Amino acid sequence: MILAVLVPLLIACFIPALSKLKAKIHTGIFVFFVPFIIFLYFVQFVGNDFSPQIEQYSWIPSLGINLDFYLDGLSLLFVLLISGIGSLVVLYSIYYLHKSERLGHFYVYLLMFMSAMLGVVLSDNIFVLYTFWELTSISSFLLIGYWHFKERSRYGALKSMLITVFGGLSMLGGFILLYVVTGTTSIQEMISQVDVILDSNYLPLILGFILLGAFTKSAQFPFHIWLPDAMEAPTPVSAYLHSATMVKAGIFLIARFSPIFSSYEWFFLIVSIVGIITLCWGSYMSVRQTDLKAILAFSTISQLGMIMAMLGFGTTIAVFAAVFHILNHATFKGSLFMIAGIVDHETGTRDIRKLGGLATFMPITATLAIFATFSMAGVPLPFLNGFYSKELFFDAGIQLDNSGFWSQAIPYLAVLGSIFTFVYSMYLFFGTFTGKKHLEQLPKKPHEAPFGMLVSPIILVLGVILIGLLPNMANAPFLQHAAEAINGDTEFYKVKFWHGWDSPAFRMSLVVVTLGIILFVTRKRWQAVYQVLPGKASFNKVYDAIVANMDSVSRSVTNFYMTGSLKTYMSLILGTTLVVSFFVMFVSNGFTVSTDQLADISFIEIAVVLIMIIAAIGTIYMNHNVAAVLVLGVVGFGVAILFVIYRAPDIALTQLVIETVSVALFLLCFYHLPKLRKSTDSAKTKTMNAIISIGFGALITMVAISAHSSRWFESISDYFVENSYKLGGGDNIVNVILVDMRGLDTLFEIAVLGIAALAIFGLIKNKKNKEAE
């Protein structure tokens, strides 16, 4: 299995080389064999006696990340879809994409996606699943942006990525929580610990996180907005990713985790309600579209909603119907996308208003379309697979436990959604292939597509018919295993075409068809309803507003405090330090005063300190550079005097020298500097600044007093005093410390001075250089 997952990625590495040959051989021909062989490999597993297989490889075992691949009925269904539809799509793309396109890029992304998608459905390890999940988002991003010179493509690509990666991250949150709660990273082991998960306080959060992931990926209301924009991708991509496979990843996720959540009431409620709303909204909106692919996009949204709703119901019949419909939807929707692509390719437009009457030009395409659309509409004919799953869906809706409001409303909503499904299906077929011809509006003269392009849709439509004729053919060897993986039911479900006149599901179908025909015929008259609902409201606007505001709000927020003024920065930094430190000092009872170890204070000390204080305050009020520096110098010399009083003549000398030199330097510099301007700050700012600076002074003073009052330990300086002569051989303890005991400090302080000298030298040289130029 690991080979099947990684082979597309490996082959992708060779595509750039192979694409050089594209003048002779279309790159797609090489690529075709990849999914096809994978398909053949997995087909062998289909059979009545299939039992789940597991394959394990270590990757990062110490973090619980392992390449554990688990093939059960559910994964098998998806794997066959991915590889099967994948083969057909690649085949189709060979004719769809001209050799002048950047084929290398296209197929690299497509193969990347294939690996990713196979990985998603086969991984048993949550983190590996997540890895592949994000890879599907990224490859989808690249594929949507394939024609990136178009503004719409870039918009669609970004939108799909933001929404699906958002969901992916949320899912990651849920996975990590599951890991924390269960202590395992294997989904199968989690399923065996259902009780632990259900008892956890985090259950609502886990469910919410995971559902967000599933809903965004599967384009459920209100996250569906990315899917219509994803239609900017080349049509084979839409058929493959945005209809048959990737958007079903969310469905897969829900199905995969059903055994864990199914007995949790909220799971039923949220998943079925979101699903059914999506069904209705998608089909309702679809009727309004004019672009063939947009109709199909909303149709896909709506069908995904239907499958989602059935998984939410969770009953035997619903789950079976969901699995059945996953297969059916892939067949008819896949072929419809390809048909839309053919129409686009052969007429040059996808605008249904310009199309019409194409059946005479493209008879084969039209025939295929009729099967696919009627199957999608759920027309009760015994050779259309869509009808069977639709009717099972109705059955499942009715059989719900009729206690709550939603359980009762669901059958009605199901019918409502299906009526619109019927309408857009008819609209899609008749609008394109029958009616008046508008040849003059078409960019190209329409004609039937080349045979190669028709092969894939023909195979899919044959699938529609075959499943329609023999609906139970795939049950025992295939679908039943998938359903069993979801709800554990081994009961064999038999699909019947005819349930009798009194079967409620059949009556619902009749209602759908009757009302559907009426609405379709009269559709021009009720189009006005879209002015009311949704009217001008749209979730796209919400998205656009969020993205646009993200830029402008972030700009104004950032510019608010990033003023570029050093004064602002300093007051913010000091202010924060001040507030937090005071708070901590207060809470931790940090402030202590002890008068035990104080020396006597002489008059002269008081006098010196007073002078220093006055001088320091005075500096602020000086309006002249020179005056300010001189007054500041008083503070420095005061410090020197204090050193003298404390009998540290060498330090006092140093201080004196530094002070003299810096005052002199300042005076020299001021010659070149502009005059001090009077501060233009408002009184409010000035007060604020005063509070901050006085506060900060107070803080430092209080910490200093407390630190002095908490001398709990003997200082290591006693050791220096004892040993400076004995071990260091020097009388002057300061010297011994500087050059020996802490020589390393000194070495690097010298280095600092050296660097400073070089930096200044560099600056001056720089200036000279500039002047020379």
Partner 1 sequence: MSNLAVLPIIIPLISAVILIFFNQKVKVSRALSKLFSLISLGTSSYITWYVFTNGTIILETGDWLAPYGIILVMDGLAAILVLTTNIIAVACAFYAPNAGLEKRETFYFYPFFFFLITGVSGAFITGDLFNLFVFFEVLLMASYGLIVLGGGKVQLRESLKYLLINLFSSMLFVTAVAFLYAVVGTVNMAQIAQRVQEVEQQGILTTIGILLFFVFATKAALFPLYYWLPKSYIVPNPVISALFGALLTKVGIYSILRVFTLIFVHKTDMTHEMFIWIAGLSMIFGVIGALSTSNIKLIIAYNIIPAIGFIILGIGLLNQDGISGSIYYLINDMIIKSVLFLLVGVIAYVAGTSDLRKMGGLIHYYPFLGWLLFVSALVLAGLPPFSGFIGKLLLLKGAFEQGEIAIVIIGLITSLLILYSVVKIFINGFWGDKETMAELPKKSTKGLLAPVVGLLALSVILGVGAEFFYPHIESIATYLLDPEIYIDSVLKE
Residue located via tokens 């910490």: 703
Q: How far apart are CA 748 and CA 753, in angstroms?
A: 9
Q: Which is nearer to partner 1, 103 or 339 (CB)?
A: 103
Positive or negative, the CA dihedral 6, 11, 12, 14 is positive
Per-residue H/E/C for 551-607? HHHHHHHHHHHCCCCHHHHHHHHHHHHHHHHHHHHHHCCCCCCCCCCCCCCCHHHHH
Site for partner 1 in 134-153 (CB under 8 A): 134, 138, 145, 148-149
Per the CB < 8 A criterion, the answer to whether 248 and 218 are in contact is yes
Q: How far apart are CA 302 and CA 28, in angstroms?
A: 32
Position among 677, 716, 729, 771 found at the interface with partner 1 (CB under 8 A)? 716
Q: Who contacts 9 (Cβ-Cβ below 8 Å, separation ≥6)?
A: 111, 112, 115
Contact status: 595 vs partner 1 (CB under 8 A) = no
β-strands 53-60, 65-71: how paired? antiparallel
Stretch that binds partner 1, among 305-313, 431-439, 527-535, 556-564 (CB under 8 A): 556-564
For residue 55, list its beta bridge partners: 69
Position among 527, 576, 679, 735 found at the interface with partner 1 (CB under 8 A)? 576
Position among 30, 36, 41, 59 found at the interface with partner 1 (CB under 8 A)? 59
Q: Do you know the residue count of the chain?
A: 773
Estimate the share of the chain in helix, then strand, then coil, as percent rounded to the nearest 5. 75, 5, 20
Position among 518, 584, 606, 614 found at the interface with partner 1 (CB under 8 A)? 584
Stretch that binds partner 1, among 294-302, 333-341, 433-441, 546-554 (CB under 8 A): 546-554
CB count, 10 Å around CB of 356? 19
Contact status: 491 vs partner 1 (CB under 8 A) = no
Stretch that binds partner 1, among 30-38, 245-253, 472-480, 566-574 (CB under 8 A): 566-574
Q: Who contacts 731 (Cβ-Cβ below 8 Å, separation ≥6)?
A: 724, 725
Position among 44, 403, 490, 769 found at the interface with partner 1 (CB under 8 A)? 769
**Cα angle for residues 415, 416, 417 (degrees, 5° grid):** 90
Q: Which is nearer to partner 1, 63 or 607 (CB)?
A: 63
Contact status: 542 vs partner 1 (CB under 8 A) = no
Per the CB < 8 A criterion, the answer to whether 131 and 175 are in contact is no
Q: Which is nearer to partner 1, 528 or 752 (CB)?
A: 752
Q: Is the peptide bond before 380 cis (omega within 30 degrees of 0)?
A: no
607: its two tokens? 């006098």
Among 671, 668, 650, 672, residue whose Cα is nearest residue 660: 668
Q: How far apart are CA 601 and CA 551, in angstroms?
A: 61
Contact status: 592 vs partner 1 (CB under 8 A) = yes
Residue located via tokens 């259900």: 198
Q: Which is nearer to partner 1, 55 or 740 (CB)?
A: 740
Position among 53, 399, 472, 581 found at the interface with partner 1 (CB under 8 A)? 581
Among 257, 171, 275, residue whose Cα is nearest residue 219: 275
Q: Which is nearer to partner 1, 477 or 728 (CB)?
A: 728
Q: Who contacts 165 (Cβ-Cβ below 8 Å, separation ≥6)?
A: 134, 137
CB of 582 to partner 1, least distance (A): 9
Position among 40, 546, 580, 620 found at the interface with partner 1 (CB under 8 A)? 580
Site for partner 1 in 188-227 (CB under 8 A): 202, 205
Position among 704, 725, 732, 768 found at the interface with partner 1 (CB under 8 A)? 704
Contact status: 597 vs partner 1 (CB under 8 A) = no
Contacts of range 15-24, beta carbons closer than 8 Å, 24 or more positions apart: 15/104, 15/107, 15/108, 15/111, 16/104, 16/108, 18/104, 19/103, 19/104, 19/107, 20/104, 22/99, 22/103, 22/104, 23/99
Position among 199, 650, 681, 749 found at the interface with partner 1 (CB under 8 A)? 749
Q: Which is nearer to partner 1, 527 or 701 (CB)?
A: 701
218: its two tokens? 């599967």
Contact status: 555 vs partner 1 (CB under 8 A) = yes
**Beta strands in 40-168, from DSSP E residues, in sequence order:** 53-60, 65-71
Stretch that binds partner 1, among 24-32, 349-357, 519-527, 698-706 (CB under 8 A): 698-706
Q: Which is nearer to partner 1, 581 or 619 (CB)?
A: 581
Residue type, 771: E
Position among 30, 36, 166, 506 found at the interface with partner 1 (CB under 8 A)? 166
Q: Is the peptide bond before 534 cis (omega within 30 degrees of 0)?
A: yes
Contact status: 588 vs partner 1 (CB under 8 A) = yes
Stretch that binds partner 1, among 236-244, 284-292, 336-344, 708-716 (CB under 8 A): 708-716
Q: Which is nearer to partner 1, 292 or 629 (CB)?
A: 629
Position among 157, 237, 369, 392 found at the interface with partner 1 (CB under 8 A)? 157
Q: Which is nearer to partner 1, 37 or 616 (CB)?
A: 616
Work out the angle between the directed axes of helices 265-286 and 405-433 (0-180°, nearest 10).
30
Q: Which is nearer to partner 1, 183 or 382 (CB)?
A: 183
Position among 20, 152, 447, 765 found at the interface with partner 1 (CB under 8 A)? 765
Residue located via tokens 């392009």: 453
Contact status: 165 vs partner 1 (CB under 8 A) = yes
Site for partner 1 in 100-139 (CB under 8 A): 127, 130-131, 134, 138
Q: Which is nearer to partner 1, 381 or 557 (CB)?
A: 557
CB of 597 to partner 1, least distance (A): 11
Q: Which is nearer to partner 1, 138 or 369 (CB)?
A: 138
Contact status: 40 vs partner 1 (CB under 8 A) = no
